[in-house]
A and B are shown apart, each in its own frame.
Chain A
Amino acid sequence: MILNEQMQEMIDRYLMGKMSAEEKRIFEIQMAEDKILRDEISLQKDIISALHFTGNAELKQRIAAMHSEPHLKIASARTANIRRIFAIAAILIVFITAAIIIYYPEKDSNDLYALYYAPYDASILTRGNNASQLEKIADLYEQNNYAGALTEINIYFQSVGATNAQIILMKGICELETGKPDDAAESFESIISRHDPFYSDQATWYLALLEIKEGKNELAVQHLKQLNNDSHADHHKDAESLLNEIR
């Protein structure tokens, strides 16, 4: 069937929601009685949906091309102002850093550990089943009650098994904080060995810090290089900076 202009215009107005309520009512009565019209509407609905996918795909290509355009050329005045402030701040930081590099002695392992270490932030704890138990762990952890959190984590793992990488990471931090470095290393290594997509980087970072603290700089450098080589890794910049300090 070849559609004429009048029929196609009617279908367009129906499918694009441009009919009045009365027009729409009459058209739907016609559709109910006419299978060919119903099939035609169904086909054109599918075609319009596919045109939307095509349009979105082409728009995405246009937008993706913008991502690689030189950013500064289209920066706003506000952004440029912020950048100016950052530039001034950067100059000050360079002065201060240079002063530290030139006039202060090299830091030892404990200094570096203290400078870079901060407990993992568990405020984004992923909750699912056992939500109340996880909340209890998160609360103790956030209150820096690491011994209490460690006890609760062990109870939790006894009941559900040690499968949640985020909780294993928190366990490692609790073990670090309560003076159990070997246990902490084991916790971090267990996350790394399972290649957990979300927490491997964090585990690698804390393991490297622990290794620095224990004077195992060669191992630490290996772990830090892993983070430094992956520009998307968590602690990528921290790793770069810490590597420079160690060298």
Chain B
Amino acid sequence: MSLSTSFRSKEKGNNQLLKTFKDLSERNSIFRVTFRKAVVLNDEQIIKKLRSASQQEQNDALKFLYKEYFTMAVHLIRSNNGDADDAKDVFQDSLITIFNKVRQPDYETGSSLKTFLYAVCRNIWLKKLRTSGYDYKFRETQDANETVESISEIMEADEKQKTLITLINNLGDDCKKILLYFYYEKLSMQEIVEQMGLSGEQVAKNKKLHCMNKLREMVLSNSSTIEILRN
């Protein structure tokens, strides 16, 4: 290496060093802000928030789970023939599964949410690999002894369900909302009253009945829909 090349190389190195220090200094200021704003939730608090009628509370818990455990999912999926996009899909589907499971009245806290989430991610990814024709020997990225049994996974909607979903989406916002609150989120009538700002439980009951009848009529007045439902 000639003397001038050596100088140029050193100068380039020093400039790189200065730039990196600048970047790190900027990033460190973010770390300090982050540290002050940090929110730590334990499993009990997360479950309570996921079961809440308030979407804000639910979102807080989901965001916390996202922040804490997404990296775990990326590591798991990337160690088992997947990439970051696969990890994102699997992790988001896993959060939906956890949300639904935790909101079931018979849900019992057995293993930690972290173990539960790991098991759900693992099951969903393994199923996707097997669906693609891979008989796969899984590489665990953490202790999987506490395998969670009977995890209901997100299924693809069939033609019958797709037809009904279209009708639900055409039902009008309030009707769709009250049916989702009651049948999907399993909120009580009192919680529905609070969420929708209704004047009382009887009003909520009447509205829910009206919306269910409206949806049934939409289904039953369409002969092609009835045909699809019969098949």
Q: Which residues of A contact B (CB under 8 A)?
A: 2-5, 8, 12, 16, 43-44, 46-60, 62-64, 66-67, 69, 71-81, 83-84, 87, 90-91, 94, 98, 101-102, 105-106, 123-128, 198, 231-234
Contact = CB atoms under 8 A, between A and B. Distances in A.
A126 B133 CA distance: 10
7 contacts: A5-B206, A46-B229, A53-B157, A90-B24, A102-B10, A128-B134, A232-B85
Given A51-B180, A75-B34, A77-B35, A46 B164 contact: yes
A219 B213 CA distance: 68
A94 B64 CA distance: 32
A59 B65 CA distance: 14
B92 interface: yes
Given A52-B184, A76-B67, A126-B135, A232 B17 contact: no
Given A66-B63, A77-B35, A102-B13, 12 more contacts: A44-B216, A51-B184, A53-B165, A56-B96, A59-B99, A62-B55, A67-B92, A74-B63, A79-B38, A126-B136, A126-B137, A128-B135
A51 to B, nearest CB: 5
A67 B216 CA distance: 37
A5 B84 contact: no
A80 B212 contact: no
A57 B176 CA distance: 13
Main secondary structure of the interface of A (DSSP, over half): helix
B59 A101 contact: no
Contacts of B212: 3, 8, 44, 47
Contacts of B182: 12
Contacts of B33: 72
B146 interface: no
B40 A98 contact: no
Interface string B121-154: 0000000000000111111000000000000001
